């Protein structure tokens, strides 16, 4: 996977996360999305796919998404996911493995 370089970068901007996520989602869903597009309203997200997204975010950005953060609102749009990643990276120490 091409995620290592992404995760290692010390400075992650919202723009770079959004870009990476849009690429990931485009490859997975074969749909072109915008950062503020509601994926649940678009019917693009099943619970299986939501779990893939959780794992992808955790692995790519070295964060742990647990407990209350597993609410769907955090995954509704690329912007929301980007906010989640930035918040967890700012607040929580990097995690190695589960």
Q: By the criterion CB under 8 A, which residues form the site for other proteins?
A: 1, 28-30, 46-56, 58-59, 66-68, 70-72, 97-98
DSSP 8-state symbol, 10: S
Rounded-to-integer distance, Cα 76 and Cα 79, Å: 8
Residue 15 or 72 with smaller CB distance to other proteins:
72
Residue 41 or 72 with smaller CB distance to other proteins:
72
What is the nearest approach in angstroms of other proteins to the Cβ of residue 4?
10
What is the nearest approach in angstroms of other proteins to the Cβ of residue 68?
4
């Amino acid at each position: 996977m091409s995620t290592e370089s992404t995760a290692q970068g010390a400075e992650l901007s919202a723009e770079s996360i959004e870009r990476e996520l849009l690429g990931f989602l485009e490859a997975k869903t074969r749909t072109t999305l915008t950062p503020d597009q509601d994926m649940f309203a678009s019917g693009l997200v099943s619970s299986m796919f939501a779990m893939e997204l959780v794992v992808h975010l955790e692995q790519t950005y070295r964060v742990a998404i647990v407990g209350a953060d597993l609410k769907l609102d955090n995954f509704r749009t690329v912007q929301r996911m980007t906010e989640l990643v930035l918040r967890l990276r700012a607040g929580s120490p990097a995690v190695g493995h589960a």
